[in-house]
């Protein structure tokens, strides 16, 4: 099966610009997660979709970040306007049933965002 796909793999933008990251989960996975790793820090949870609904967005840093999952398939994460501290690697992950610990998270390769 195809894995979780993220693009772009790298993005370099200037402070104040807008960037949109995309994630295509594994087909059939209703659950989609966004995580972020800021340089030198731990990977942190941003939010969790179940199909098209936001189940938990407690990790979203501020209102400059907007996540969507229209139709319950792929998801986008938009940062507008980007700030220097938004630089990092953004990971997407999907799973079939997060209520079952036997259902593992499948991670994408991440998008490395650099804000200059």
Partner 1 sequence: AQSVTQLGSHVSVSEGALVLLRCNYSSSVPPYLFWYVQYPNQGLQLLLKYTSAATLVKGINGFEAEFKKSETSFHLTKPSAHMSDAAEYFCAVTPAGGTSYGKLTFGQGTILTVHP
Name which of 4, 21, 2, 1 is nearest 109 in CA terms. 4
Q: What number of residues does the chain have?
A: 116
> How far apart (Å, rounded) are the C-alpha atoms in residues 114 and 116?
6
55 binds partner 1 (CB under 8 A): yes
> How far apart (Å, rounded) are the C-alpha atoms in residues 34 and 20?
13
Residues 6-35: x/- map of binding to partner 1 (CB under 8 A)? -------------------------x-x--
Please, which of residues 86-105 interact with partner 1 by CB under 8 A?
91, 93, 95, 98-105
116 binds partner 1 (CB under 8 A): no
Q: Which residues are near partner 1 by CB under 8 A?
A: 3-4, 31, 33, 41-45, 48, 55-56, 91, 93, 95, 98-110
């Amino acid at each position: 099966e195809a894995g979780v796909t993220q693009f772009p793999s790298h993005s370099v933008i200037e402070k104040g610009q807008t960037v949109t990251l995309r994630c295509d989960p594994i087909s059939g996975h209703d659950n989609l997660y966004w995580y972020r790793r800021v340089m030198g820090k731990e990977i942190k949870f941003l939010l969790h979709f179940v199909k098209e609904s936001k189940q938990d967005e407690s990790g979203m840093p501020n209102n400059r970040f907007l996540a969507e999952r229209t139709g319950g398939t792929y998801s986008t994460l938009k940062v507008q306007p980007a700030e220097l501290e938004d630089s990092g690697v953004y990971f997407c992950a999907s799973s079939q049933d997060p209520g079952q610990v036997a259902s593992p998270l499948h991670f994408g390769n991440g998008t490395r965002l650099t804000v200059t």
